[in-house]
Structure 1
Amino acid sequence: MVTNEAAYQATKGGPLDVDKAFYDRVSGRPGNDGSSGGSGGPGGRRLVESFTIPIRSGRAWEVPAGHLCRIVTVDGPQVGDFNVWNRHDPRERLWASRTRQLQRAHVSTYDRLWSTLPFLRPLLTVTGDTLADHGTDDTGGRAHDLLGTRCDPYVNRMLTGEDFDFHCHSNLVRAVLPYGLTEFDVHDVLNVFQCTGLNEDDQYFMKACPARPGDHFEFFAELDLLCALSTCPGGDLSVPLWGPDAGDPLEVCHPIGIEVYEVDDALLEGWASPQPAAYRNLHGVTLPSWT
């Protein structure tokens, strides 16, 4: 049987290897060997911030390095479009296409979101995903995708001839304004809780969100992060946004909750924020000599 191996592979012990025992410990997950994951649960973390993002809106927030952040479906299925930057340098941000190559098109526990060049390092590591058991449905749909990107008013105008100011792109633009960022800083997203895939014609499809109240997607901040999330105006995506069956999905829109946790220092022993890529950025250019 012929199999297609992943193109991007590192040597054993290299940067693509994840210390699963560490992330089990900080998150409180049961260990891979069936043992307890440690005290990263209620006794090993302290809630330091929580808020709810209303329907068809967006918000930005900070997650310090070494903290956990949990994205929660509060009272029903809802898709969220997620952006993330280095809090101290927004030029370093999620690189969705490279993350697809280094990890997967649909991410889950132990996967990482990688940053843009010339930094190329993990921004965060996924530590919890209650939709992991959803797996792949009978049409190839999976949750938490990096295949597509945010809905936006430019495409909507092109497809329908109408203006709508609460697409995910617009929600994210408004969310990051207090941090001095603009539309040019909003980038390709992680579609949290969204079920997607490629059809028989290799075209992107979206299906109804499989999340239920209380489902969550949790990650560990490898750097000081600025995050932003839009509660998609399509809600759970059970109503098409475009095409002959399109309708107003307002009734299937729900809020999303955000929780940020500080982790006990003892659980972080041995961990350090990853350094930027080791390549020196010369690209074959010879530096001038003044001697």
Structure 2
Amino acid sequence: MASADKPHPPPQPAYQATPGSILHADRAFYTSLASAARTPTDSFTIPIRSGLAWQVPAGHIVRISTPEGPQVGDLNIWNLHNPRERFWAARTRQLHASHVSTFDRLWSCLPYLRPLVTIIGDSLGGEHYGVDQYGGRCHDLLGTRCDPYVNSMLTGDTYDFHCHSNLTRAILPFGLTEFDVHDVINIFQVTGLNAEGRYFMEASPAKKGDYIEFFAEQPLLMALSTCPGGDLSTWGWGEGGGSGEGEKKSMVECCRPLKVEVFGLKDEKVLGGWSEPQPPKYAGRHGMRVPVGEADAH
């Protein structure tokens, strides 16, 4: 066979790191955290079509679960003391994958670029759900939150309880505004790209008691919306009914609450030598001398 006819190897992931990089979670360490004895410090349930924000100390564990069955949740994360440092969905997608699971990390934006959380438990991701017949995977980073602006643009309707709005209301008590809401991770949501490269959503496969767990690598503010699309088994913009295909049930019938639990570790020795991750050691000069010195000004 001529060399020109030889099949090309598949392309390699664009973002790879040298051994020992912070990109790669220490699996033995995070496995030990997932099974370590815990002390509950906070617990609450977020009603349907609503949102709530809460604080998490560094070194704590956050579990989000589906107490009554499938429900999609849109999650935002900030550094508690500096909300300019917030979750960066696009870079997380490049560093890990379009859908994340155990041992993947959710990264913050520039110039910080460090883990906000590491996923330490997931009853649906990875091998638990895998890849379905349509190419769908769980815990979506391809899409983002539903919002009233795109709803109005597409349909002309007004509805105030999209995830963007739910997150906006949730963070107001913490001094943040709509401008602080950012791209989310859609937990318990199955999505993918079809043959035309277009984004699709499927019904959530979550069952009663499914969960995802995060280890807080920093002191955090987290906010979660219980999506008005519920489990996405039917879909339509706004408050109303199904997608118009047959006698589908209304969207509100597909909505269920989400439960949030926060835990400290009973024995903090489990943390060993862990410390809060630091940003990359880049000086931040960007090829400029700032400020321009007096000698350079004349």
TM-score (ref. length: structure 2)? 0.90
Q: How does 1:273-288 map to 2 (within 5 A)?
A: 273-287=276-290, 288=292
Q: Number of aligned residue pairs: give it.
A: 277
Aligned to 2:200: 205
- Aligned partners of 2:152 and 2:235: how far apart in 1? 16
Amino acid in structure 1 at the alignment position of 2:221 = L
Aligned to 1:121: 114
Q: Deviations along 1:205-235, whole A, 9 cap, x unmatched? A: 0000000000001010000000000000000
Out of 242, 247, 262, the residue aligned to residue 260 of structure 1 is: 262
Amino acid in structure 2 at the alignment position of 1:145 = D
Identity score, percent: 59
- Aligned partners of 1:290 and 1:154: how far apart in 2? 49
Q: How does 1:167-206 map to 2 (within 5 A)?
A: 167-206=162-201
Aligned partners of 1:241 and 1:247 also within 8 Å:
no
1:21 paired with 2:28, answer: yes
Q: How does 1:22-37 map to 2 (within 5 A)?
A: 22-28=29-35
Aligned partners of 1:59 and 1:229 also within 8 Å:
yes
Q: Secondary structure at the match of 2:173?
A: helix
Amino acid in structure 1 at the alignment position of 2:77 = V
Aligned to 1:37: none
1:272 paired with 2:271, answer: no
Structure 1: 5+ residue runs without aligned partners?
Answer: 29-39
Amino acid in structure 1 at the alignment position of 2:22 = P
Aligned to 1:74: 67
- Aligned partners of 1:240 and 1:272: how far apart in 2? 43
1:3 paired with 2:10, answer: yes
1:164 paired with 2:159, answer: yes
Q: How does 1:235-250 map to 2 (within 5 A)?
A: 235-242=230-237, 244-245=244-245, 248-250=250-252
Deviation at 1:63, TM superposition (A): 1.0
Deviation at 1:190, TM superposition (A): 0.1
Deviation at 1:277, TM superposition (A): 2.1
Amino acid in structure 2 at the alignment position of 1:165 = D
Structure 2: 5+ residue runs without aligned partners?
Answer: 1-6, 238-242
- Aligned partners of 2:152 and 2:244: how far apart in 1? 16
Aligned to 1:34: none
Deviation at 1:248, TM superposition (A): 3.3
1:87 paired with 2:80, answer: yes
Q: Deviations along 1:54-97, whole A, 9 cap, x unmatched? A: 00000000111000000000101000000000000000000110
Aligned to 2:253: 251
Deviation at 1:289, TM superposition (A): 4.3
Amino acid in structure 2 at the alignment position of 1:272 = S
Amino acid in structure 2 at the alignment position of 1:277 = P
Q: How does 1:46-61 map to 2 (within 5 A)?
A: 46-61=39-54
Q: Secondary structure at the match of 2:151?
A: helix
Deviation at 1:181, TM superposition (A): 0.3
Deviation at 1:244, TM superposition (A): 4.8
1:131 paired with 2:138, answer: no
Aligned partners of 1:94 and 1:123 also within 8 Å:
yes
Q: Secondary structure at the match of 1:157?
A: helix
CA RMSD of aligned residues (A): 1.3
Aligned partners of 1:241 and 1:248 also within 8 Å:
no
Q: Deviations along 1:168-193, whole A, 9 cap, x unmatched? A: 00000000000000000000000000
Amino acid in structure 2 at the alignment position of 1:185 = D
- Aligned partners of 1:17 and 1:149: how far apart in 2? 25
Larger Rg: 2
Aligned to 2:240: none
- Aligned partners of 1:13 and 1:270: how far apart in 2? 15
Q: Secondary structure at the match of 1:166?
A: coil
Out of 139, 142, 146, the residue aligned to residue 144 of structure 1 is: 139
